[in-house]
Amino acid sequence: MDKEQTLQKIEELGLLAVLRGPSPELTLKMVEALVAGGVLGIEITYTTPNAAAVVKMLDEQFGDQIVLGMGTLTRPEQAAEAKAAGAKFLVSPHTEAELAKAMVATGLPLMMGALTPSEVVQSRRLGSDVVKLFPGSLGGPSYLKGLKGPFPDIPMMPTGGVSKDNVADWFAAGAVAVGAGGQLCPKSLAAAGQFDEITAIAREFVTAVHAARR
């Protein structure tokens, strides 16, 4: 998929699983459990051990079956590494000029983190295709709705504080998609080997997203 197709697919899915995996092995199993539950947007963060190697393995295993990206980029050199590993989109928790330049140079879809109105505008100007509202838990859906007032044409995706119970509120507030981490794929379940439970939660999340966007 090219850049526009990837962005369209992310919007179509409406949900990205943000995985801060405890180990490469458990992260792979977590993704398998999520995919089994219908979650096909996967973001592997750089806080995951051997994150780039994990993305490479996932790309080889799933290919175009999933939309695979890397998140928590904090250093410019990570952008090219992520693309080489097979990432199809890039996400950072913040917006910083040198990092943004390296991310833009990959030609991949970008989501750079912002919270305040000034940061939202800066993120967009430096190349964010979708502005990552982070941490979304600080302001909740009402804060996103407030931001969409002056910036109706800037696509925004909240991450942090997203659950299956409030996902409808996020979309009603104007989210183009949502990113979910611990609420969608708890590390405790992975550590306990309860991957069937992760799959069940994934199904509930996907159902909630679909219901919210009807």
9 is catalytic: no
Q: Three-state DSSP class for 133? A: strand
Answer for the pair 95, 113: CB distance below 8 angstroms, yes or no.
yes
43 is catalytic: yes
Q: What is the helix (H) or strand (E) element at residue 9, kind and residue range?
A: helix 3-13
Phi, psi of 14 (to 5 degrees): 75, -5
Active-site residue, from 9, 88, 132, 164:
132
Furthest-apart CA atoms within the chain: distance in Å: 46
**Across-strand partners of 112?**
92, 131
Distance of alpha carbon 185 from alpha carbon 16, whole angstroms: 11
CB contact set of 192 (below 8 Å; sequence gap of 6+): none
Give the pair of three-digit tokens for residue 181: 């981490």
Active-site residue, from 43, 83, 96, 164:
43
Answer for the pair 10, 156: CB distance below 8 angstroms, yes or no.
no
Catalogue the active-site residues: 43, 132
